[in-house]
Each structure stands twice: as C-alpha cells, then as structure tokens.
Amino acid sequence: MKKRLWILIFLIFSLSAFADNWTLGVMEFSFKQKQKLGESSAKAAQVLPQLIVEQFSSENIRTIPQKERLDRKLKELQTQRISLFLQLSKEYKSRDSLVLSTYSPKKLEKEIKKQMEKIRDIEIKINENLDEVKKEIDKAAPKISHDENAHSDLKNKDDKKNLPVFPIKLPFSFFQHDEKDEVITENVVLYRSDSTALFAPSEKSLEAGFTSWDFEQEVTSAKINGLITGEITCYGDYCSVTTHLRIYPGGEIFGSVQEVGLLTDLMPLADSIARNLDSKIANALPVMLDFDINPKEIAKDTKIMIDGIVFSLTKTDGSFDNKIIKDAGIHHINIEAPGYENLAFTYSFTDDNMFFVHANLVPKVHGQAHIKLKKYRDGVFHTYGLNQAPVSQEEPSAKLDVNGKSVLGVFSVPKKSQEDSDSSNIAFFRIPENQAFDGAYLLVNAKPFDRQANIDKRRRWMYTAYTALICSLPFTFYYKGEFTAENFANSQGRGDYDRLRDLQNRSNICAGISAACGAWTVIELVRYLWAADRVLPAKTKIDKKSMKEAAQLSKPQIEVIEDEAAESQESPEPESKESVIQNNEIMVN
C-alpha cells in the first residue's frame, strides 16, 4: 500500500515538473522623440523594462485563451505546410531531372510514376493540412466568442451553489477543467530565466515591424510567447511610457498600459506598469470586490482608491452599491472616510471571481500630550519631522500633538562645540500607543550624548579588562600548579616548608588578581551592553503625580460667598445644608 502511495506522489510531481511554460520576454524600449537624449534618459530605455519584468520573477499562472490556442495551432500547421511544400519542390525537381537521365524509356516511365506517387502523397497531405486549418478555425470561432463574452460579464456565483464540489482542492491548475471546455494554464517564466535579459531582434526584423514574418520568426525561435514592448515620451524630468503586451505567434496586442512618472525615479513607474500588466498576463476573468465598511454609518461617505483610481460607493443617483468590478491581479487599495484613519493594503486578487473586503476603520484621534524630562535641561522636542516644542525653566513641560498612534521623536540640545558629532546633542524617545492620548502627562529619561562614542569607550574598557584577565591566568595556573606539587612533596616528607608558604602566598595573590580581573570584565561587559541598549529610543512613562494634579484642577470648585445682609443679622444657625445654599450665592469654576 505504501509503495503505491509513493508511486502516486511521484507521478503527481512528475506531471507538475513537465508542465508547459509560458515565456515572457521584454525588449529595450524606444523613444518617440527623435532628438538626441541625455545618457540617463537613454539608460532608462534599458533599465525600465528590466524593472518591470523583475516584478514577475515569482511564479505566475496564465490561462491560455482560445484565440492564442488557435494561433498556436495555425502556426504549427503553417510550419508543417512549409515543410511539405519544400518536400514537394524537391520531388518535382527530382522528377524533372529524370528527363536528363540515361534511363531506358520503360525504366524512365517507371521512375516518373514513382515520383508522381510521392508528389501526390505530399499534395494530399497539404490538402489535409488546409482542410484542418478550416476545421480549427470553425471549431475555435464559438469558443473565442465565449471567451470574449466571459471577459465582459462576471460569472454569477449563485449558479455554482448547486453544483457538486470536489472535496479536495487539486494542487495543480492543469488538473482543473471548465464545464464548457478544458482550461489550459501554463506557468509564466522569464526569458532565459533572467529579469535582466532583454530580447534583441535584428535591425531588419525591427524595421519590418512587430507583426512581420521576420520578427515573428525571431520571437518564436527564442520560444517567447509574450513580448513586452514600450515607447517613451520625455519632457524635462517627466516621461510618459506606453507599454504593449504582444502575444506570439501573431504579434497581436493583448493589452496596453500607459503611465507617467519621473525619469529620476523609475521604480514607482515600473511597479505601476507591472501591476496593470499582471491581470493581462494572467488573462483571468474580472473579479468582483464586495466591500463591507464598518462602522456602517460611514459607508456611504467612504471613498475607495484602487491603483490610483477613485471609486465612490454612493452613485450619482444617490443609491448605494458596495461592489466594484476590476481585472484580476495585484491591486493596491486605499480606503478613506472623513474623520477616520486611512486603511491601505496590497493584495493579489486571483484564483476566484468574488472577494469580500471587510474594512474596520478606526476614528482619528487628535489631541495634545504634556511631556517633560525626568532630569530637566533646556532643549527642544521634535515629532513628525516638523513639530517643535521647546522646554525651559519657565515651561518645563512641552505639548506634543498625538493621534492615538505610536510617536517616535527626538529631544535635542545645542552643541557644546562645532567639533561634536551630529548625534552628540540628540536623544530619541518613543511614545507608545496606549500613552498617545489627549491630556496625557508623560515623563521621559532622554539624555542627549554621543552614543557611538560611549559604546566605543565601553568596548575599549571591556577589552582592557578581558585582556588583564587573560594575562593574569598563566601566572595563576603556574603558581597554583607549583603550590600543589610542593604541597604533595611536603606531605611525603621531601619538601621545603618555607618554599611551600611562599608558593601558597603567590598562588593566592595571583588567584585574587584573576578573580578581580574576572569581576572587572563582567562589570565592563554589563556596562558595554547597557551602553549598546541606550541606542534604543527612551520609552515614556505616565507621570502619575502630574496626572493626579491635573485631575484635581479639572474638578469644579464651589466657593460660598456670604450675603452681607445675612452677615449683619444675628440669626440662629440653619438646620440643614439646603438652607445655607438657598441663602448664599454659588460660584462654579
């Protein structure tokens, strides 16, 4: 039983290893303008396509459409016809050459008859090939139409509810079949398995065009199924890039993407183009994104940005629709609502046609926290790069803007001299999320000093202590050994007592020195680790004393002011508190 199981596993992995690959290639982009360009601009034509295909280095799957399958079949039949025609021309030439032979008339007639039989066989094969071309076109026509319709409308998920579902998801995509026709998928691999390898056609084929016979032959000879071509238009530091995904054989444009960006920063440009090309390379059905926004009351005011395009869940007629249809592939989504923190993420929407996005938005928190140093000194607190809050003897506490999120800031003091390093007058601090609320009083032990110099200093001291320990050990071991040997000799009645006492004293002194050096090494190691740990930002703590004082000040105070008329009269003391309040003015602060 175990042997059969291993055989089955071996067959499955063997099939996956020999699955067909769909090769994606890219060639150097061209410039639309004919004027002379700078070196950096010319370099972009090579670097940009390499950056684009680099995004597809991880293994992707492409669903082969019926049109592409037909083109492959027609290309295969065309190759066969050309081969048959070359054979036919050879047989005709062989037949014509018989006329010049020295054969007898009878043998000549027999040889010509043989050649004509060969010619007829080849002609029959050519006719069969042509008939097969017509059959393949007629057979693929409804399937191509079905593919085109499938990409214009989403499949209804309710139609699949009553269908039998296989209990185990098959591990390889080429095992899965569609009801109407077999779904063929292939692994997307890069040309020469290298993102830096650019396809370089000959100048002759390039001049003939991407759909020419010569260009197609060079592409198919390189075993490229999909070729990315591009054209760049530059104005100043900005460029517009139009890329096309061409499918071979045929050279037809399967998808196009246009993007604008900086020539000096090609990575965002390449990332955007690759993200838009991903769905076209995968050739998957469109997907429906069903958004569930919480809290529910803000859903109508929520704006969703997908790959830089803004979608509103509220339509122009006032109706609410939480479903958005997009091409399958990798999409960057940003969800915004007034008064709430933005939510952004990137996800690969593939292998299904319906996705539910549950977004729990968190309200924005704005306020101010009071922060002061554990040990006062003049300086400035910096947060978010721009906000500054100085502290002084008059105002030892600074106010910092907080929004409920962790804050990383810097406390800086003036440099003592120009020779000091840039990090000698700053200290980083961190406010955790649970302390970043309005009205918080915080205490931080931020000490500006040159932490790198302090680490180097502590390292040198640690190495000095360790060196002293190592140097003391040979003397300790030596005198300890001598003392042990002399002590043993003395016990046998052969030793010198005075020498024994001297060795004992030396052994104890060396052991004490080694012990002291060992303790010194441990202390310096701890000090070194402590110095290294102080590189981390100082964490704030709640100043309980200031929080308590602030809470007392925020309580309303009641001040009772006696009425002058009542003061002049000698009346008996009221029986209850209510009567006092009725006869007095109450001031609330």
Q: How confident is the prediction along the chain (589 residues), in pLDDT tens digits per residue?
A: 445 444 444 444 443 444 578 999 999 999 887 777 677 777 888 999 999 988 875 557 788 888 888 888 998 999 999 999 999 999 888 888 887 777 888 888 888 888 899 999 999 999 999 999 999 999 888 888 877 776 555 444 444 433 343 333 334 443 344 444 567 888 888 999 888 999 999 999 999 999 999 999 999 999 999 999 999 998 888 889 999 999 999 899 998 999 999 888 898 899 889 888 887 888 877 788 888 888 888 888 888 988 778 888 877 666 777 888 887 777 889 999 888 888 888 887 877 778 998 988 888 878 888 898 888 888 889 887 667 888 888 888 888 888 888 888 999 888 877 777 777 788 999 999 888 888 888 999 888 888 888 999 999 999 999 999 999 999 999 999 999 988 888 888 887 888 888 989 999 999 999 999 999 999 999 999 999 998 899 999 998 888 888 777 766 555 545 554 444 444 444 444 443 334 333 233 3
Exposed, middle or buried by CB within 10 Å (0-12, 13-18, 19+), for 169? Answer: exposed
d(CA 293, CA 297): 9
Residue 505 tokens read as 């004293």
Q: How far apart are CA 308 and CA 315, in angstroms?
A: 19
- Under a CB-based contact definition with an 8 Å cutoff, are residues 433 and 404 in contact? yes
Q: How far apart are CA 433 and CA 559, in angstroms?
A: 39
At 63, which helix (H) or strand (E)?
strand 60-63
The topology under which CATH files domain 17-64+184-281 is Rossmann fold (3.40.50)
243: left (phi over 0), alpha (psi -120 to 50) or beta: beta
Q: Look up residue 82 and give its two tokens.
A: 């050309």
Distance of CA 120 to the CA centre of its chain: 63
Please state the φ and ψ torsions of residue 26, each to the nearest 5 degrees: -145, 145
Dig out the tokens for 147 from the structure. Answer: 């593919």
Contact in structure between 15 and 214 (CB atoms under 8 Å) = no
First vs last C-alpha separation in the chain: 88
β-pairing, 30-31 with 226-235?
parallel
Q: Which residue do the tokens 């997009």 mark? A: 326
Alpha-carbon distance values, 361 to 293, 310, 333, 407, 421 (Å): 7, 18, 14, 20, 44
What is the maximum alpha-carbon separation in the chain? 165
The answer to whether 193 touches 323, Cβ cutoff 8 Å, is: no
CATH number of 367-449: 2.60.40.2070
Q: Are 41 and 234 in contact (CB under 8 A)?
A: yes
d(CA 16, CA 14): 5
**Rounded Cα–Cα distance for residues 469 and 461 (Å):** 12
Segment (H or E) for 83:
helix 66-97
Structure tokens belonging to residue 497: 């007592």
Q: How far apart are CA 347 and CA 278, in angstroms?
A: 12
Contact (Cβ atoms closer than 8 angstroms) between residue 420 and residue 453: no
Helices (H) and strands (E) in the chain, counts: 12, 25
CATH code, residues 284-360: 2.60.40
Angle, alpha carbons 303-306-309 (nearest 5°)? 80
